[in-house]
Structure 1
Amino acid sequence: MGVALVTGASRGLGAEIARRLAGDGWAVAVNYLPDRADAERVVAAIVAGGGVAEAFRADVTDETAVAALVAHVEDRLGPVRVLVPNATGPQPSKPALEVSWSDHLDQLRFFVKSPTLLMHAVMPAMRRLGGGRIVQIGSDMPERAEPGMSAYAAAKAAQMSLTRTWARELGPLGVTVNLVAPGWIPVERHAAVAAEHVDAYRRDVPLGRMGTPAEVADVVAFLASDDARFVTGERITVNGGHTLG
Structure 2
Amino acid sequence: MAAAGVVLVTGASRGLGATIARTLAADGWTVAVNYRNGAGAAREVADGIRAAGGTAAVFEADVTDEASVAALVAAVTEQLGPVTALVANATGPQPEVAVEDLTWDDHLGQLLFFVKSPTLLVRAALPAMRAAGRGRVVLVGSDMTDRALPGWSAYVAAKAAQIGLARTWARELGPHGVTVNVVAPGWVPVERHADVPASAVQAYAAEVPLRRIGRPDDVAGAVRWLLSDEAAFVTGERVTVNGGHTI
TM class, shorter-chain normalised?
A: over 0.9
> Please, which of 117, 122, 127 is the counterpart of residue 119 of structure 1?
122
Give the Cα–Cα distance (whole angstroms) in 1 for the partners of residues 142 and 50 of structure 2. 30
Residue identity matched to 2:227: A
Give the Cα–Cα distance (whole angstroms) in 2 for the partners of residues 233 and 173 of structure 1. 14
Matched, 1:161 2:164: yes
Gaps of 5+ in 1: none
Corresponding pairs, count: 244
Give the Cα–Cα distance (whole angstroms) in 2 for the partners of residues 170 and 231 of structure 1. 13
Matched, 1:4 2:22: no
Q: Name the residue aligned to 1:23.
A: 26
Superposed counterparts of 1:211-226, under 5 Å? 211-226=214-229
Residue identity matched to 1:121: A
Q: TM-score, normalised by structure 1?
A: 0.99
Q: Name the residue aligned to 1:106.
A: 109
Give the Cα–Cα distance (whole angstroms) in 1 for the partners of residues 161 and 99 of structure 2. 18
Moved over 4 A (4+): none
Gaps of 5+ in 2: none
Residue identity matched to 1:11: R
Q: Structure 1, residues 13-33: CA drift from partner, whole Å, max 9, x if none?
A: 000000000001000000001
Q: TM-score, normalised by structure 2?
A: 0.98
Q: Name the residue aligned to 2:212.
A: 209
Residue identity matched to 1:9: A
> Please, which of 35, 47, 52 is the counterpart of residue 50 of structure 2?
47
Give the Cα–Cα distance (whole angstroms) in 2 for the partners of residues 38 and 61 of structure 1. 20
The alignment's C-alpha RMSD in Å is 0.5
> Please, which of 217, 240, 243 is the counterpart of residue 243 of structure 2?
240
Q: Structure 1, residues 94-136: CA drift from partner, whole Å, max 9, x if none?
A: 1111110000000000000000000000001011111100011
Q: Structure 1, residues 23-56: CA drift from partner, whole Å, max 9, x if none?
A: 0100000000111000000001100000000000
Q: Structure 1, residues 152-205: CA drift from partner, whole Å, max 9, x if none?
A: 011000000000000000000100000100000000010011222112111110
Give the Cα–Cα distance (whole angstroms) in 2 for the partners of residues 98 and 241 of structure 1. 32
Residue identity matched to 2:169: W
Q: Which moved more, 1:3-12 or 1:94-103?
A: 94-103
- The Cα shift of 1:149 comes to 0.8
Q: Name the residue aligned to 1:67.
A: 70
Residue identity matched to 2:44: R
> Please, which of 81, 84, 96 is the counterpart of residue 81 of structure 1?
84
% same residue? 65
Q: Which moved more, 1:62-71 or 1:189-198?
A: 189-198
Q: Name the residue aligned to 2:182.
A: 179
SS in 2 for 1:119: helix
Give the Cα–Cα distance (whole angstroms) in 2 for the partners of residues 189 and 242 of structure 1. 22
SS in 2 for 1:17: helix
Give the Cα–Cα distance (whole angstroms) in 1 for the partners of residues 201 and 158 of structure 2. 24
Give the Cα–Cα distance (whole angstroms) in 2 for the partners of residues 149 and 200 of structure 1. 20
